[in-house]
Amino acid sequence: DTGVSQNPRHKITKRGQNVTFRCDPISEHNRLYWYRQTLGQGPEFLTYFQNEAQLEKSRLLSDRFSAERPKGSFSTLEIQRTEQGDSAMYLCASSSSGTKEGYTFGSGTRLTVV
């Protein structure tokens, strides 16, 4: 297992377009998180899955954002009608319930909306 994988690493899109990011967590981890990070700030929580169930969504996650985790494996984060304010690094993390281990983060997808 090579850790948490995110694709693509970089995405440039025009305002108004839809984009989708993918996250492949560590295979034995049942918990998956999405975060957003802008320059100079720490990561901000967006949403959390335990297996295939989306248990919480941040108020930061507007109606244009949707995340899925079918079958409790990989996850996708879609942003519809992108805006320039959506430009950020989108980070995925996974962890295993029942342990004290910290999260394992992926390298992120950097989105630039032009």
Partner 1 sequence: LAKTTQPISMDSYEGQEVNITCSHNNIATNDYITWYQQFPSQGPRFIIQGYKTKVTNEVASLFIPADRKSSTLSLPRVSLSDTAVYYCLVGEPRGSGGYQKVTFGIGTKLQVIP
Q: Measured between alpha carbons, how far is 22 from 37 in angstroms, rounded to an integer?
A: 16
Is 73 a residue that touches partner 1 (CB under 8 A)? no
Is 21 a residue that touches partner 1 (CB under 8 A)? no
Distance of CA 1 to the CA centre of its chain: 19
What is the SS3 assignment for 97?
Answer: coil
Single-letter code of the amino acid located at 47 = T
Q: Measured between alpha carbons, how far is 106 from 61 in angstroms, rounded to an integer?
A: 20
Question: Which of 1, 56, 68, 83 touches partner 1 by CB under 8 A?
Answer: 56
Q: Which range in 14-22, 67-75, 76-84, 100-108 contacts partner 1 by CB under 8 A?
A: 100-108
Is 106 a residue that touches partner 1 (CB under 8 A)? yes
Is 68 a residue that touches partner 1 (CB under 8 A)? no
Task: Retrieve residue 47's tokens.
Answer: 């949403």
Residue ranges that bind partner 1, judged by CB under 8 A: 4, 31, 33, 35, 40-45, 48, 50, 55-56, 89, 91-93, 97-108, 110
